[in-house]
Amino acid sequence: MKKLVIGALLGFSSLAANAADYVVDTSGAHASVNFKIQHLGYSWLTGRFNDFSGKFSYDAANPTAAKIEVTIKTDSIDSNHAERDKHLRGSDFLSVSKYPEAKFVSTKIEDLGNGKLKVHGDFTLHGKTNAIVIDAQKIGEGSDPWGGYRAGFAGTTTIAMKDYGIDYNLGPASTHVELSLHVEGVKQ
């Protein structure tokens, strides 16, 4: 029995040792949080959030044990148009003075095989938290030219603005926002 317990503890510690902690590489601009929404149903308005941070833990042998957390500074919204960005920061949309951050925290990871994942989590925006699912894909992992180790992922999800208390009428084709995330993490 004693050998069984010691063997189990050694096996558990080797599994835990395989998981690695990563910090999202925003300083090197190797990550982005982008969005797009239809503009009145006639075209796409695209943009990004320029200020965000995040971390994740990941083990290629056990991707379902991954944990992810990303915090977005809402006042960093950038649609490439200063007046529109001012409007988006205001009370009609993000209310950045009242809600300076948006946050995603994973709750469950599904491994679909071939590097495809479903990342379940809680997304908080505009003071409201809802469960969302991000369709994600592992891009790759390995040593970088500077002696570090990196892992990269991409993912997409769609949210309804009304689910976050944003009810500004842009027309029936403009009720949902598509989010696109590109994350490269540096192993700590």
Q: How confident is the model at residue 40 (pLDDT cuts 50, 70, 90)?
A: confident
Indicate whether 59 belongs to any domain. Answer: yes
Task: List the alpha helices (DSSP H) in the chain.
Answer: 2-18, 82-89
Indicate whether 14 belongs to any domain. Answer: no
pLDDT value, residue 1: 46
Instruction: Determine the average pLDDT of the residues in 121-132.
Output: 98
Query: Structure tokens of 182?
Result: 């590109």
pLDDT value, residue 19: 83
Residues in contact with 173: Cβ distance below 8 Å, sequence separation at least 6, in sequence order: 38, 40, 41
Cα–Cα distance measured from residue 72 to residue 168, given in angstroms and rounded to the nearest whole number: 21
CATH of the domain at 167: 2.40.128.110
Contact assessment for residue 182 and residue 154, using Cβ atoms and an 8 Å cutoff: yes
DSSP 59-73: -TT-GGG-EEEEEEE
Report the domain count for the chain: 1
Contact assessment for residue 183 and residue 24, using Cβ atoms and an 8 Å cutoff: yes
Instruction: Determine the average pLDDT of the residues in 35-51.
Output: 94
pLDDT tens-place string over residues 54-69:
999 999 999 999 999 9
**Boundaries of domain holding 106:** 20-187
pLDDT value, residue 143: 97
Indicate whether 5 belongs to any domain. Answer: no
Question: Phi and psi (nearest 5°) for 5?
Answer: -65, -45
Residues making up the chain, counted from first to last: 188
pLDDT value, residue 27: 87
Closest CA to 24 of 55, 45, 3, 49: 55
Instruction: Determine the average pLDDT of the residues in 159-163.
Output: 97
Per DSSP, the three-state class of 110 is: strand
pLDDT tens-place string over residues 62-102:
999 999 999 999 999 999 999 999 999 999 999 999 999 99
3-state helix, strand, coil in the chain (%, to 5): 20, 55, 30
Indicate whether 170 belongs to any domain. Answer: yes
Q: Provide the mean pLDDT of the chain.
A: 91
Residue 170: pLDDT over 90 = no
pLDDT value, residue 71: 98
Residue 138: beta bridge partners?
A: 153
